[in-house]
Amino acid sequence: MSSLEISSSCFNQETKLPLSPPLVEGSAFEPSRREMDEVEEKPKEIIKFTAKKLSVDEVSQLVISPLCGAVSLFVGTTRNNFEGKKVINLEYEAYLPMAENEVRKICSEIRQKWSVKHIAVFHRLGLVPVSEASIIIAVSSAHRAASLEAVNYAIDNLKAKVPIWKKEMYEESSSSWKRNKECFWATND
C-alpha cells in the first residue's frame, strides 16, 4: 500500500491516508528511556550579567521544555529619546553579588506564585546602543497565563529590588544617571 491511496468514482472522490503503525516494543516509534528521562527534567534558573550583546533566540532556547506549551519573553531595549532629549546609548552598572542574589530571590518568589518550569534572566552591562536589548527575561510553563504573569512579575521586581544603575547618554554630549522609580529605596519627589 502506498502512503496515499486514492479511489474515485463518477460522483465521489475519497482520500484514504494510512493509519499510524502500532507501537512495537523496541521500534523506532517507541520513546526511548533517555527521551522519557528528558521529560522529567529539573527546573532551572539561568542568570547572567554580561557586557556582550544579548540574543533573544539564545535566551528563549534555554527555557524551552517538552513539558511546556508556553515560553513568555520580556525584552527591554534602549530607546532613542527621553523627555525630549535624543539618547544615543545607555550605560549599565551593577553590584553583581547582590544583583545575582536578588534575581535568585525573584525566581524563588515566582516559583511560589506560579507553576513554571525554567526561568532565564539576562541583563546587559556597559554600553547598550539604541535598539539593542538591555534585558531579556524568559519563562516557560505548561500554559501561557503562568509564564506571562511570571515575566511581568520578574521585570517589575527586578526594577524595584535589583541594584542596577543606568546612565543615559545624550546626543548633546551630556549624560544623566537614572534611578528606577520602582526602587523601594527611592525617595518620592
Q: pLDDT below 70 — which residues of the chain? A: 1-39, 174, 176-189
DSSP 82-147: ETTEEEEEEEEEE-HHHHHHHHHHHHHHHHHHS--SEEEEEEE-EEEETTSEEEEEEEEESSHHHH
Fold topology of 43-178: Aldehyde Oxidoreductase; domain 3 (3.90.1170)
pLDDT of residue 6: 39
Q: CB count, 10 Å around CB of 104?
A: 14
Domain boundaries, the chain: 43-178
Numbered residues of the known binding site for substrate: 143-144, 159, 166-168
Numbered residues of the known binding site: 143-144, 159, 166-168
Q: Under a CB-based contact definition with an 8 Å cutoff, are residues 156 and 149 in contact?
A: no
pTM assigned to the model: 0.74
Q: What is the pLDDT of residues 35-88, one digit of tens each?
A: 555 557 899 999 999 999 999 999 999 999 999 999 999 999 999 998 889 999
